[in-house]
Structure 1
Amino acid sequence: MYDQTKSAYLYIRVSTDEQKRKGYSLPEQEDRLLKYCAFNNIEVKGIYREDFSAKNFNRPEWKKLITVIKNKSKEGKSILFIKWDRFSRNIELAYEMIGILRKHRTTAMAIDQPIDFSVPESTVMLAVYLSVPEAENSRRALNTANGIHRAKLMGRYPNKAPIGYINLTLVDGRKIIAPKQPDAEIISWAFHQLVKNIHKIEKIRNMAYDKGLKCSRSHFFRIIHNPVYCGLISVKFNSEEQQMVKGTHDPLISETLFYEVQHIINTKRKVTAKTDILKSTFFLRGFLTCPLCGRKLSGSFSQGSTKKYSYYHCQGSCKTRISAPFLNDCYQRKLQQLVLSNGAIGLLKIILEDCNTNSQKAKYLHDQNMVIIKLNEENSILSKARKLFVVDTLKYDDYSELKKESLANSKCLKSELQDINIKLKSIEEQSQLASKPFVDIFKGFSSLDTANKKHLVNLIPPVKVNFQTGDISLELNGALSKILTSKKHKKKQ
């Protein structure tokens, strides 16, 4: 079949599943190809071996071979392999690659399935040889998908175990996923933190990372959306229809907790960090008008030589602008001049009593005490470990790991304690409101979150703003004018 002077490159390919299924091996293929070349007096220019799928030609060794072929386009040569499924398992890409090889005076040939390209009818056999591997791949993929679908309907998780679990094979051969510590405990802790709706998701991820959960930001988001952790497995029937099946594995959290977390992260957290900064900096945007053209003022940052500066500005040709921090402070000072009227103070006292602040305070004190106990336990554990390390009872690696875990736990507990203390302080301030000579209800305006600030600005919008001096007049509607008054007016009363 080959000219005595013809040269060839040997291409040997195998994939892991083929070795298991058909017993293919690289040495066996190489041995057969070398014997074939020796028998037919074919000069072997090079041997290229790889363990890679033949779904496409994006294979490391094949790319190297093609580079060599293109650099020696003037020489007549061949690429030899055992069967056409070693060359490709995609008929469309295979024909395309055969055309490329022809341009460089190279012939692809399978020694077990020879094709005489000079005979037109031989293209029929080539189509058969190439289509069979592709059909095998398609059938195998379909069987695999059906098997995974059946396994999920039975409540089994057939894929690689998600973080927090590990794949196990039982004595009877059944494959399951089981909780893997300490990741499982940390993921459970993260869900319990999320449901409190106190911290941002990124802060909880960082706290979980400090505790030992090593995953990226995107991976953490996949974790908190994955129903596997509450014992459910999602089964898709088509692009629109899916259902949840009760899994046979042990859940890390309850279904109730999982869906509460989904409600929080899907409805209250869809805000980017950049949008948060813009809203918090320009909370008066939408309520200010340009004194020259009457347009609504926008807000943006201007890059200075050392830092960024924020301005409310007009987008018209008048180019009016004013420092955002200056105007925000002017509005805040004007707002803090408003206090409750005498009649409203009595009503507030009744409301505070109805809120049952004593029971809330008792709950927070209990939580505070529990966190302090846990902190003391962590300190005690670390102290004991340090003593064992000093007397050489505890190895350095074990001590280092224990210390790292203990410090991470203490950091999280201190953060929880800080949140509880803030709540207790808020309750204490509420209980003291009615006893003040006049109530500074807007004293804590600067510490409010952006949503509450915008709500207050909407209730008490600024009017008649002097952009030179910063003097602002506030508009009180009928209801608010009856319960709020200025400090100056209150002193006169």
Structure 2
Amino acid sequence: MSMKAILLARVSTEEQKEAGNSLPAQVERLKKYCHNKNFEIIKICSFDESAYSNKRNEFDKIIDFVLNHEDKVALCCDKVDRLTRNTFDKRVAQLYDKALQDKIELHFVSDGQILTSQISAVEKFQFNISLGLAKYYSDAISDNVKRAQEQMVRKGIWVAKAPIGYQNITDPNGNKTIIVDEYHGPIVTKIFEMYATGAYSLQLIIDSLDKNYGIKVPKGFIGKALSNPFYYGTMIVKGVQYPHSYPPIISKDLFDKVQAVKASYKKKPAKHAGRPYIYRGLMRCGDCGLAITPEMHKGYVYYHCTQYKGKHGAKWFREEAITSEVEKIFKRMHIPEEILQQVTDELNVMNQDRIEFHNNQLQQLIKEQKRIAKMLDNLYLDKLEGRITVSQYDKFYQTLKEQISEVNQSLQRLHESDENYYITSQYLLQLASKSYELFKSSEVEEKRVLIKTVLSNFEITGENMLWKAKKPFSNFLNCTEGFLWRHTRDALRTFNWKKLTNILKIILI
């Protein structure tokens, strides 16, 4: 009676599927072998699965079928490495023991090896050598993959799925790369800009995304995104930071500002939740320095000092009364139309002087960028030709990548400063001219942003509300005469635009 046979064909990579180890090719060789041996094929098992993994679902099913079969069967594989590449695989040890007990036979067709109860010591040794070679081959592949990935990381290539805001693509040359997602990228930027103002909690950002973009995201995603340096140009691999080679979505300065806001929340954990109050956390008591707290009483919102440091006759103020005073401040910031046009014209003249300076800086940075890129190319050639060691290469490479990262950040800052001056000056003038209307029509969060943008040292002393206007808004509050607007023009000339860019975009766009 002919022996019954079970055929096992396996691949683990796309390359194997397309080469001579493809599943159909293996099965064809095994069928031919069984025909020559006069074996009766009772089962053909063909599947994709790693032979080096501890979790092998398909393989386990085959083992169970072989071990539980009543009759003696021959398990036929193309090669030993089609069965396993792990010398410590207990499942293979089970098959080996069953073969020595004459309960099954193991046939490795292309290797020319047959394991039965009659094999000699030499044949056992050959099988162990085949197992060792299979494991060595697998380990060598693993080492090559690790080295390739390490080299990619050093080149600033991200080898995993890109974070939200980016998109993994294949370029026209067939190379995999990462680009900024045209839709989600600006949304990620908006998330950072909103949080950096300090006026938006994670929940308010989530609500804003749902309301304005129809996007529902968990709070955990927002928190994780705000901590991810990938967005400004740095990737983290196994706890180590590397500059990546993809376009940043935000600036390093904006990222640092977000981290500062997060750190301030950790130092002062919020004790209140629920209804948002316009002035919560924005005012202090001028007598004792404690925060002015809101409280609902008989359907109205009142603000008062907690007097934890001792009673001092603190007054209670209705929210409407405080809002009325704040509206008066914003009314005073209105810019007369003729003055607005005059300042705008003078700013345009000032812009021409900035263009030449900007272009000179740009050329210097581009020249430095090319110089470092050439040094990186030469460094790689030195490594290939053995003029430097791997450790020396890694050290010099990291230094050069840090230098080119600094140059890239300088280029970005230069672009932003140029853009911020032209755009933000217009935003600022719009804000000053329309601040009253904006405040009246805004939601609570936007009102808080406006107040934090314009005012500082906001406090209540006795029955009086005291405040200071931030520059250049302090100039706007006194713009009744032309000579005062000349001071305002000078303030606009020297003002740090980058600080207000993100805040003003949130308010005015």
- TM normalised by structure 2 equals 0.52
Q: Distance in 2 between matches of 1:189 and 1:136?
A: 49
Q: Tell me if 1:30 matches 2:27.
A: yes
**Cα shift at 1:189:** 1.3
Q: Which residue of 1 aligns with 2:410?
A: none
Task: Identify which of 308, 312, 317 aligns with 1:340.
Answer: 312
Q: Tell me if 1:48 matches 2:45.
A: yes
Q: 1:183 is matched by which residue type in structure 2? A: H
**Cα shift at 1:101:** 5.4
Q: Which residue of 1 aligns with 2:148?
A: 147
Could you list the runs of 4 or more consecutive aligned residues of structure 1 that deviate by over 6 angstroms after TM superposition? 270-273, 359-363, 370-376, 421-424, 426-429
Deviations 1:410-434 (A, max 9, x none): xxx856336458979x999946853
**Cα shift at 1:145:** 2.0
Q: Which residue of 2 aligns with 1:82?
A: 78
Equivalence map 1:80-119=2 (5 Å): 80-93=76-89, 95-98=92-95, 105-113=103-111, 114-117=113-116, 118-119=119-120
Q: Which residue of 1 aligns with 2:66?
A: 69
**Cα shift at 1:81:** 1.5
Q: Structure 1: state its 5+ residue gaps.
A: 278-331, 345-356, 377-412, 437-493
Equivalence map 1:319-334=2 (5 Å): none
Q: Structure 2: state its 5+ residue gaps.
A: 274-303, 316-327, 334-427, 466-509
Equivalence map 1:240-389=2 (5 Å): 242-245=240-243, 247-265=244-262, 268-269=265-266, 339-340=311-312, 366=431
Pair 429,262 (structure 1): closer, same or farther in 2 beyond 3 Å: closer
State the identity as a percent: 23
Pair 201,23 (structure 1): closer, same or farther in 2 beyond 3 Å: farther
Task: Identify which of 446, 458, 466 aligns with 1:417.
Answer: 446
Q: Which residue of 1 aligns with 2:291?
A: none
Specify the SS of the correspondent of 1:115. Answer: strand
Q: Which residue of 2 aligns with 1:226?
A: 228
Task: Identify which of 443, 463, 467 aligns with 1:434.
Answer: 463
Specify the SS of the correspondent of 2:142. Answer: helix
Equivalence map 1:9-24=2 (5 Å): 9-19=6-16, 22-24=19-21
Q: 1:135 is matched by which residue type in structure 2? A: Y
**Cα shift at 1:121:** 2.2
Q: Distance in 2 between matches of 1:272 and 1:104?
A: 72
Query: Contact 1:56–1:93 at 8 Å: present in 2 too?
Result: no
Pair 335,233 (structure 1): closer, same or farther in 2 beyond 3 Å: closer
Pair 156,243 (structure 1): closer, same or farther in 2 beyond 3 Å: same
Specify the SS of the correspondent of 1:161. Answer: coil
Q: Which residue of 2 aligns with 1:133?
A: 134
Query: Contact 1:368–1:420 at 8 Å: present in 2 too?
Result: no
Q: Tell me if 1:201 matches 2:202.
A: yes
Q: Distance in 2 between matches of 1:360 and 1:121?
A: 98
Q: Distance in 2 between matches of 1:9 and 1:272?
A: 66
Aligned-CA RMSD value: 4.8
Deviations 1:309-348 (A, max 9, x none): xxxxxxxxxxxxxxxxxxxxxxx99969965369x9xxxx
Q: Distance in 1 between matches of 2:329 and 2:305?
A: 32
Pair 198,420 (structure 1): closer, same or farther in 2 beyond 3 Å: closer
Query: Contact 2:330–2:436 at 8 Å: present in 1 too?
Result: no
Q: How many matched pairs?
A: 324
Specify the SS of the correspondent of 2:178. Answer: strand
Query: Contact 1:371–1:416 at 8 Å: present in 2 too?
Result: no
Specify the SS of the correspondent of 1:181. Answer: coil
Pair 198,131 (structure 1): closer, same or farther in 2 beyond 3 Å: farther
Between stretches 250-259 and 74-83, larger displacement belongs to 74-83
Q: 1:119 is matched by which residue type in structure 2? A: S
Pair 193,107 (structure 1): closer, same or farther in 2 beyond 3 Å: farther
Specify the SS of the correspondent of 1:130. Answer: helix
**Cα shift at 1:170:** 3.6
**Cα shift at 1:229:** 0.9
Q: 2:446 is matched by which residue type in structure 1? A: L
Pair 23,202 (structure 1): closer, same or farther in 2 beyond 3 Å: farther
- TM normalised by structure 1 equals 0.53
Query: Contact 1:165–1:178 at 8 Å: present in 2 too?
Result: yes
Pair 263,83 (structure 1): closer, same or farther in 2 beyond 3 Å: farther
**Cα shift at 1:156:** 2.8
Q: Tell me if 1:59 matches 2:56.
A: yes
Q: Distance in 2 between matches of 1:69 and 1:361?
A: 89
Q: 2:41 is matched by which residue type in structure 1? A: V
Query: Contact 1:70–1:104 at 8 Å: present in 2 too?
Result: no
Between stretches 115-124 and 104-113, larger displacement belongs to 104-113
Pair 194,132 (structure 1): closer, same or farther in 2 beyond 3 Å: farther
Query: Contact 2:206–2:216 at 8 Å: present in 1 too?
Result: no
Query: Contact 1:182–1:212 at 8 Å: present in 2 too?
Result: no
Q: Distance in 2 between matches of 1:87 and 1:374?
A: 72
Q: 1:416 is matched by which residue type in structure 2? A: E
